[in-house]
């Protein structure tokens, strides 16, 4: 009988071999969205399906299950090893419910669906996406049944991105948004609106790109362990903590498009670069959840990047890059413009407050699709109805409506709620960071982000998946997720932007 050390070594070898396969898939997926020629789609789908199937077989084999069960009952494992085995056994029991054939089918359909989405968005025609999306929805319903759930089929898909999240947990969160957010929005609406017209001048692509790289360097993104590229929809992917890829989208007539996506994806990238290298392929070398991942991007994008302190340092540099466009705009005007609140059509360009209604709309549609009360061909009409209801705007076409996001083409049902959870976690973490780091705001005003990044490394990144999202939040802040913290942050920030101090 092998000793515990030998068994753990065998476990580690299998886990890292599966990680190699998954990360090879990630390279192909990154290439698919950044550089792949259109005609490569069919074979790329096959290649991705093959790798996904092989990785799944490794991690669901009976022998691997026996190894995990044997290890879980062994003495002699150190704390890190115990947690890796515990989490891998949980993953095994979940993965075992999906056959290799199902995983390959889902991977192949994802490639087909993504390419159909690209075509449909370019031609502004949802009907070109609908057939592939219908197949994807059917497969995700099947996945929910295979994984199992107690109350709602959507719960099984939510758990893939945010462990423990359920409809019963999220419904009150979104009910709170529907109840509280309109009160703040009404006060803002009655105030004098700020202008961000100067964002919509001509900003040459290369200068935008160079400024984005400068910001990322200051944030601490390691370009020897990562890179940035252009894609249709900004995203982050990783092949190891030493090889993290982020993308942005440049619109020469809307500077904000590149700016916020660059900082947002940079936050994701910093998290991935901060995961422990010695835990590659193991649970303690992976991110906690999508909600915590979003907390990192939202903290950098909104709490930091849209803050007055950030622009105290960066705005003179931005003016130097774009003197013709910004020489007549002062820092305070720019700060207010960066935080303009106004209902809009595009989620990734939405302001920090109305953004949550964009997420709410997708959440309600996804629940209906998975439970079978809404069918694919009904999506555009329902989408438009909800945008009119919650935001008072009406999409003029499919490209700015139901085709705007890539997520459904990836089969990522259950993903969108993590955006709102991440914003709430971000506000809570940022409040705690200000308590823990002496002079944090002054450091930000000087463009010094190393202390903040080191705090995030210690509090969040280094733990991998050791804790659940709520456990991690409680360790960092002393309490579980508290939506009231976000509302306090929003009241203070937008009170400054719209001079609401005396408008209650």
Ramachandran class of 482: left when φ > 0, alpha when ψ lies in -120 to 50, beta otherwise: beta
Q: Pairing state of beta strands 243-248 and 236-240?
A: antiparallel
Task: Give which of 70, 489, 462 is closest to 304, Cα–Cα.
Answer: 489
Contact by Cβ (8 Å): 284, 276 = yes
Catalytic entry in 265, 301, 352, 366? 265
Contact by Cβ (8 Å): 289, 161 = yes
Contact by Cβ (8 Å): 263, 272 = no
Task: Give which of 335, 341, 339 is closest to 312, Cα–Cα.
Answer: 335
Strand order in the sheet with 243-248: 226-230, 243-248, 236-240
Environment class of 401 (CB within 10 Å of its CB; exposed 0-12, middle 13-18, buried 19+): buried
> DSSP assignment, residue 393?
-
Distance CA 160, CA 138 (A): 17
The radius of gyration computed from the CA coordinates of the chain, to the nearest angstrom, equals 23
Q: What share of the chain is helix, strand, coil (3-state, %, to 5)?
A: 70, 5, 30
Task: Give which of 190, 171, 46, 156 is closest to 110, Cα–Cα.
Answer: 46
**Could you tell me the end-to-end alpha-carbon distance of the chain, in angstroms, rounded to an integer?**
72
Q: Pairing state of beta strands 243-248 and 226-230?
A: parallel
Distance CA 393, CA 357 (A): 12
Task: Give which of 112, 122, 130 is closest to 379, Cα–Cα.
Answer: 130
For the stretch 364-368, contacts whose Cβ atoms lie closer than 8 Å and that sit 24 or more positions apart, written own/partner, are 366/154, 366/413, 366/414, 366/416, 367/152, 367/154, 367/167
Task: Give which of 250, 251, 210 is closest to 230, Cα–Cα.
Answer: 250
From the centroid of its chain, how far is CA 381? 26
The contacts of residue 400 (CB under 8 Å, 6+ apart) are 345, 346
**DSSP H or E stretch at residue 243:** strand 243-248
Distance CA 352, CA 347 (A): 10
From the centroid of its chain, how far is CA 310? 22
474 is catalytic: no
Task: Please give the positions annotated as active site.
Answer: 265
């Amino acid at each position: 009988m092998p000793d515990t050390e030998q068994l753990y070594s065998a476990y580690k070898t299998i886990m890292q071999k599966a990680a190699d396969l998954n990360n090879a898939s990630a390279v192909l997926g990154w290439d698919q969205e950044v550089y792949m020629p259109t005609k490569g789609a069919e074979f790329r789908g096959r290649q991705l399906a093959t790798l996904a199937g092989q990785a799944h077989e490794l991690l669901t084999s009976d022998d691997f299950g026996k190894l995990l069960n044997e290890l879980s009952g062994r003495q002699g494992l150190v704390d890190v090893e115990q947690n890796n085995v515990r989490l891998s056994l949980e993953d095994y029991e979940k993965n075992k419910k999906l056959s290799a054939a199902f995983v390959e089918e889902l991977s192949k359909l994802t490639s087909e669906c993504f390419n159909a989405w690209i075509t449909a968005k370019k031609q502004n025609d949802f009907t070109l996406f609908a057939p592939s999306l219908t197949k994807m929805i059917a497969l995700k319903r099947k996945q929910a049944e295979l994984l199992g759930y107690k109350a709602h089929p959507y719960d099984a898909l939510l758990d893939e991105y945010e462990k423990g999240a359920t409809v019963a947990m999220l419904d009150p969160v979104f009910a709170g948004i529907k109840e509280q957010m309109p009160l703040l929005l009404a006060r803002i609406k009655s105030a004098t609106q700020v202008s961000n017209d100067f964002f919509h001048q001509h900003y040459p692509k290369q200068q935008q790109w160079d400024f984005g790289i400068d910001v990322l360097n200051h944030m601490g993104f390691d370009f020897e362990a990562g890179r940035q590229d252009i894609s249709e929809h900004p995203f982050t992917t990783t092949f190891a903590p030493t090889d993290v890829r982020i993308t942005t989208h440049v619109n020469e007539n809307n500077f904000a498009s590149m700016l916020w996506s660059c900082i947002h994806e940079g936050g994701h990238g910093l998290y991935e670069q901060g995961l422990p290298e010695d835990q590659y392929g193991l649970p303690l070398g992976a991110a906690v959840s999508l909600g915590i991942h979003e907390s990192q991007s939202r903290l950098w994008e909104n709490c930091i990047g849209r803050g007055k302190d950030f622009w105290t340092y960066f705005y003179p540099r931005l003016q130097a890059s774009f003197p013709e466009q910004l020489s007549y705009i002062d820092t305070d005007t720019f700060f207010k413009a960066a935080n303009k609140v106004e209902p809009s059509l595009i989620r990734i360009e939405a302001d920090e407050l109305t953004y949550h209604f964009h997420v709410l709309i997708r959440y309600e549609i996804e629940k209906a699709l998975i439970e079978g009360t809404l069918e694919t061909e009904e999506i555009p009409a329902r989408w438009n109805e909800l945008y009119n209801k919650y935001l008072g705007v009406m999409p003029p076409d499919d490209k700015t409506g139901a085709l705007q996001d890539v997520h459904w083409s990836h089969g990522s049902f259950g993903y969108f709620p993590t955006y709102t959870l991440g914003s709430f976690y971000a506000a809570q973490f940022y409040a705690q960071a200000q308590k823990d780091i002496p002079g944090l705001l002054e450091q930000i005003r000087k463009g010094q982000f190393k202390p903040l990044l080191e705090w995030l490394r210690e509090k969040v990144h280094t733990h991998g998946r050791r804790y659940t999202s709520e456990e991690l939040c409680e360790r960092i802040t002393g309490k579980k997720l508290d939506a009231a913290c976000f509302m306090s942050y929003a009241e203070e920030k937008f009170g400054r932007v719209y001079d609401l101090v005396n408008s209650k």
